[in-house]
Chains A and B, each alone.
Chain A
């Protein structure tokens, strides 16, 4: 290192400058971010989205392996008796657990304490699977403090029973839907971050500080070529409209520049019939050219298709 002797002071200053900037921009904000308690929004989101929505070893090709589902229960999975509509998050055996269960310190002190003590999340196991609930504890000031409840421990619910009790029509594959949202690059145009300074009227309220704990990736997006969709499920909850819009956005919005996502239907429709895409496109072109009065019927998606999971996800964005 003889040739660097005259650069000793410079090298030290360089280390100081770069180290200083990393202290300010990484180390110091980490104190602020660590102290944030997860809000109801964050808990709900991390429970339905699951451990990771981008690449992970559990689902390397983002094709929906090892993903939780959100279900709405109307009967008790143990007794079969009717009960008040309850939302449960089902993690079948082998599904990576949500971040707040894996690393409860990500939840913030208050939520962590409640989830550990009352929610018994420490007993959840990936190998056996688990069912979680979003529970709350009334506070002195009349507000509610939300936490994660491990229903497998507190109620003895197991994933198979809960999924069976809910049935396919009350099951939402929102976790896989978010993976499709990442895989198909929806977030290159649709942001998930209404802006603090405007957007209130059109796209809804900007998120709060604790609304992201445990979410990965956050996929805010930076290049908004289309409406923000953080709250799209509250603006438009029509499955029919979503189906038409994904198959060919020009069916419901003639000036849209969104790509067609008809390939998410897969080869067959809900009745197991092969979908003839060429015929559909030819008929649609005739409609565009004015040779047909109505566009061709959009085939109903199969219940295990990507289209269904993506619509489940979009409708979960409340």
Chain B
């Protein structure tokens, strides 16, 4: 890939940027989940590896979070944008070269940022932990160039309308840059106190709500119709989904701080808007599941569809939790417990990861014109991810309920820690399964590039039979 950095744009093969982003995303996924599993082991067995600053839990937790959010999830998004946006506009990517540079600088910036975080250089603000110059780098060299490429591709499309997926892509790249610049105001201008606390969570909420959730959904709007051959069930419902995301998902930031002394009107407003998140959620899930009509056999037979539909099904418990757990009636019980950790993993490792994995499987096969090397490894990946995630989610939800009970019944904290111990072990096992599955995936994709069956011109990957 590096040879294309200085090649003329027309000499770069179509899809190179997407392939670069795709493989980087998988590598970051392996690293991120490996770190996650290692962190989990320390919560189960605190003396597992001890006495060294650089393998202490407090130095690694944020590295795990940012490796999966900015490495795996966001690079998989960029990968999807690099090939879906031109495909849906019946055109080429506006600039392959910008895309290649974008992926290169993304990896460089993320490696640098994670190294600094690992060493303890942090702003101390959850989800915006990077020091301000890394934030500036992310906006300048990561999100804005990606946005320019997506927007220019949409503008130079050869279709009259813009398909649902591309509305989401174009608005999300715009919104994530705004969220990055506004959400880091405390660092640009050294804002302090409650303002700093509130903006920290304004950023954390909106980076999920206006970046991860809509882009993951947009991917499903492409994958399902493309692979099943069914047209999207309803563009009107797609409209409803899009507009309700922009209106409702951009407002409930304060529900992350329900027990802080923020203005009560703000908390109430955020809580009501938080319940309204169910509008885009129901629109999305119903639209996708109805698009599957007549093709449900592919849920069993086709790997990409299985990943995508599983992700969509996980959006149901995700949004039921998300909509209601932030109301005052429920939040007081589960706030700050493992329940929230389970919920965050349901969003990122359940819902969104399954949709992105499908996009990366589909995109890499299509762009490299190679059939997936091994179905067996693909299936193993799916089941390791699903079983690992489920183990994690169930154990952390139970641990969260124990913590919640301990909190309101004023149980001495150490008794809560002891009661959680078996669930911490289960969490570690779940995380390790996910990590192992991802190692299979990396190998499978590498072998696909080297030894996958060539897909003939004009055919799609899923029309060919697997050979292994």
**A interface, CB within 8 angstroms of B:** 1, 3-4, 6-7, 13-14, 17-18, 20-22, 24-26, 28-30, 32-33, 36, 42, 46, 51-55, 60-62, 99, 106, 182-189, 191, 193, 195-199, 201-202, 206-209, 211-227, 249-250, 253, 255-263, 277, 281
Contact = CB atoms under 8 A, between A and B. Distances in A.
B121 A212 contact: no
16 contacts: A3-B154, A25-B202, A46-B192, A55-B131, A185-B61, A186-B58, A198-B332, A198-B407, A212-B192, A216-B192, A218-B200, A255-B417, A255-B418, A257-B46, A258-B46, A262-B51
B453 interface: no
A3 B156 contact: yes
A189 B455 CA distance: 51
Given A17-B246, A62-B121, A209 B403 contact: no
Nearest to B328: A197
Nearest to B244: A17
A197 B259 contact: yes
Interface stretch (B306-314, B378-386, B408-416, B437-445): B408-416
Given A24-B251, A54-B125, A222-B256, A106 B192 contact: yes
Contacts of A1: 155
Nearest to B409: A198
A315 to B, nearest CB: 19
Given A218-B194, A221-B336, 17 more contacts: A14-B171, A18-B178, A24-B269, A25-B250, A33-B195, A53-B124, A54-B122, A62-B121, A99-B190, A184-B56, A185-B58, A193-B259, A213-B192, A214-B192, A259-B42, A260-B47, A263-B51
A6 B259 CA distance: 45
Interface stretch (B72-80, B260-268, B282-290): B260-268
Interface string B346-387: 000000000000000000000000000000000000000000
A183 B197 contact: no
Interface in B35-67: 42-44, 46-47, 50-53, 56-59, 61-62
Contact of A182 (B119, B122, B250, B270): B122
B421 to A, nearest CB: 8
Contacts of B424: 257
A61 to B, nearest CB: 6
A236 to B, nearest CB: 13
B243 A217 contact: no
Interface of B: 42-44, 46-47, 50-53, 56-59, 61-62, 119-126, 131-132, 154-157, 160-162, 171, 175, 178, 182, 186, 190-200, 202, 243, 246-247, 250-251, 253-254, 256-257, 259-263, 266, 269-270, 332, 335-338, 340-341, 403, 407-408, 410, 413-414, 417-418, 421, 424
Given A33-B195, A220-B197, A223-B341, A277 B51 contact: yes
Nearest to A62: B120
A202 B413 CA distance: 9
Contacts of B52: 263
A222 B192 contact: no
A23 to B, nearest CB: 10
A183 B120 contact: yes
A255 B193 CA distance: 35
Given A33-B198, A54-B123, A213-B193, A195 B155 contact: no
A256 B418 CA distance: 8
Nearest to B186: A216
* Chain A CB within 10 A, most for which of B250, B336, B341: B336
A60 B243 contact: no
Nearest to A28: B266
A129 B90 CA distance: 65
A14 B239 CA distance: 12
Nearest to B257: A220
Contact of B58 (A33, A184, A199, A277): A184
B123 A196 contact: no
Contacts of B414: 253, 255-256
B132 A55 contact: yes
Contacts of B182: 22, 26
Contact of A224 (B51, B193, B197, B337): B337
A53 to B, nearest CB: 6
B182 to A, nearest CB: 7
B114 to A, nearest CB: 14
A202 B157 CA distance: 61
A184 B120 contact: yes
Contact of B263 (A29, A208, A211, A263): A29
B124 A54 contact: yes
A21 B57 contact: no
A182 to B, nearest CB: 4
Contacts of B126: 221-222
Nearest to A212: B193
A197 B259 CA distance: 7
* Chain B CB within 10 A, most for which of A1, A55, A99: A55
Contacts of B254: 25, 29
A32 B197 contact: no
Contact of A33 (B119, B123, B194, B257): B194
Contact of B194 (A6, A60, A202, A212): A212
Given A54-B122, A217-B125, A259-B50, A206 B261 contact: yes
A28 B334 CA distance: 28
B466 to A, nearest CB: 40
A213 B194 CA distance: 7
